[in-house]
Amino acid sequence: MNYTLHQLQVFLKITQTQSITKAAEELHLTQPAVSIQLRNLQDQFEIPLTEVIGRRIFITDFGKEIAVAAERILNEVHAINYKTLAYKGQLIGRLKITVVSTGKYVMPYFLSAFLKQHRGIELVLDVTNKARVIESLEKNEVDFSLVSVLPENLQVENIELMENKLYLVGNREQHFKSQLHNNSIFEEIPLIYREAGSGTRHVMERYIRQNSLPVIKKMELTSNEAVKQAVIAGLGYSIMPLIGIKNELNNGDLQIIPVKGFPIESTWNLIWLKNKSFSPVANSFLDYIQKEKGKTIQEWFGWLNQF
């Protein structure tokens, strides 16, 4: 047999996501590249690793056993790398973080300088939906998670990182008066929602309920990027986090519509399980965040104060 570590890594990701498309996204590869690696690995076994029924891929019992072995092999490889760096006196290990989808505009900036200081740390960052983020915490699969809405039924500790401001936005086709609009504007414009379970949608719907807004729900989309493109295309309006629309505001694709009571505000929180035992890497990152978060906000997010 002549399988490679890369083939094992790709196959393991397929088993975890149950999808070639999702595996490709998380590995930052194209779908054809993932399919080729899977085929090359399969060619070395007479027993099928996967089975395709309709448009879905299923992992066979044999494939599941190979996935367990692949994870063990990859973990041993990481251990060898860590030991090499340890002999050089570097902080080593994995830092595992899950982030809700809009948090991808936030978390990298709180990681960049820390990872540059500690080259021996391997980052495992999963940008996913809120349900998966909470699940990863419940199963103790990660060190930290980034959320804008704290979980209600899970005991966690947290550090507040920064404000999360949401505005009513539309494209540039329609001209709105610069004066402050009242809530009656929602009777005239169709709103595009995020999917159920999204932190953005939770904050948005809570505000709508509290203020008894007469909204017109136009459609529901599953990511911040999808909502943004739909708004730019003129399919409707939405209530969106400012953090994710900087470029579109600067180049004129989107406009903020001034409405009384806006922005809606929540807080980005770095959270972890209560009483969690941290690895040296996780403990070092927590200490870094506590000391450096103000500097990070000033350096990277000062532009938010313009709105």
Low-confidence spans in the chain with pLDDT less than 70: 82, 85-89
What pLDDT is recorded for position 119?
A: 84
What domains sit in the chain, N to C, each tagged with a CATH number? Answer: 5-73 (1.10.10.10), 89-162+267-305 (3.40.190.10), 165-265 (3.40.190.10)
Q: What is the pLDDT of residues 125-156, one digit of tens each?
A: 999 888 889 999 999 999 999 999 999 889 99
Q: What is the pLDDT of residues 227-241, one digit of tens each?
A: 999 999 999 999 999
pTM above 0.75, yes or no: no
Angle 37-43-46 from CA coordinates, rounded to 5°: 140
